[in-house]
Every structure is written in structure tokens, then in C-alpha cells.
Amino acid sequence: MAAAAPLLASPAGAADAVAADGSEDQLFVVHDVSWEQYEAILAALGDRAGVRVTYCEGVLELMSPGGPHEGRKTILARLVEAYAEEAELPLSGYGSMTVRKRLAQRGVEPDECYVLGTVEDGEIPELAIEIIEKSGTINKLSVYAGLGVPEVWFLKKGKLSIHLLGPDGYAETERSRFLPGLDTAELTEFMVRKGDQTTVVRAWRAMLRNRGRR
């Protein structure tokens, strides 16, 4: 904790600091952070809810998501998980677990992440999801590529983009490799439906079940 406190308190180390109320994401960026300082900050934060940390080659971002961010994250996760249940897929979610590799000098805490089956300690998720309300200085795809995450979804301004990792980096695609039967256009449509989340998820399940009976 001692190593982390001066780094976070010093305005000279911050490239960008955005203050906001609970309706907006709050972003704090610090440069020239060593791997040891990054790990000290993770240890200092512990399981503190609402703070997500991204690290890439000396640049550290701390993000505290606002209400709209968390609402979009939650409805997307609920719809994906409902789809997996209806499709009888062995989907396991690991939320915002910390994924990091010292050799790659990268670490991230996605909004949501998943595997088919279960993940062992230190393993990489197969799918990571990021809700982008406020862009930082770190290129998240560069972080995920360095960590070897096969598939990344970004939801930004209501648009869902899917990125698949290949030999030359990520390529954007229309379909998920991780959930190939999922119609992402329909998924996005249900995400923006009016009403409470439970009602939207019930309608999503009903549509999936009716389609399965055809």
C-alpha cells in the first residue's frame, strides 16, 4: 500500500483526471508506472467494488464506472447468459477478474469475461467484454492482444463490435467465434429496449425458445 499511495495522490503523475458524479465514468491516468507499482496498486485496491484497472507498458488507468455504464454492462451480460442457457452451452462468467502477464507488461479488468467450461487460476478468458463510455489513453485491443484473449467485444454508443484475434492482431467481424449461433444484431436490439432488465430478458428468452421450436 505504501508504494501505491504517493502514485495515486500526486497530481504531477496524472496525465488526465476526470471528476464526475455517479452518472458518469471517472477516469484517472498515470504514466511511468512500474510493474511493481501496478501490482502494489492492485493489492491496495483489493476487491474494492467499482474500480477497474488497466495497465500497459508503464501507463496505468483507473476507471470507476457510472450508473449508465453498469446498466449496459449488466443487461448485455444477462442477455448473453440467457442465450447460453437456452442454447445449453457450458458458459462460465468471471466478471471483472484481473488478467495480467508481467512478460507482456499488460493487465486488465474487463467489464465481463467468459469461458466455455471453467477457468483455472492464471488462465486467460476466451471472451472479454468492454463498455466504452469514456475513452482513455490506453489502446485496449493492444492490451488484450498482448494477453492473448481470443475474442473481445466493445459496446460504444450503442454499437457492438466484435474483434477476433489472429496472427496479425484483431480483425473486426460480424459474428462471434465464441458464440457462433448468436445473432448480435438482435442482441443489440434487445439491449436498447425500454423496460426493466428482467422484462427484456424474458422477452429475449421467449424469442429464442420460439425460434427453437420451428
Domains located in the chain, CATH noted: 4-213 (3.90.1570.10)
Structure pTM?
0.86
List the grid coordinates of 168: 496479425
Q: What is the pLDDT of residue 11?
A: 35
Q: 3-class SS at 208?
A: helix
Q: What is the pLDDT of residue 7?
A: 53
Q: What is the pLDDT of residue 6?
A: 46
Q: What is the pLDDT of residue 163?
A: 98
Alpha-carbon span 84 to 125, nearest angstrom: 16
Starting at the edge strand found earlier in the chain, the sheet holding 112-116 runs 91-93, 112-116, 127-132, 151-156, 159-166, 169-173
Q: In order along the chain (214 residues), what is the average pLDDT of each group of 10 residues?
A: 44 38 78 96 80 95 90 96 96 93 96 89 89 86 97 93 96 95 94 94 96 64
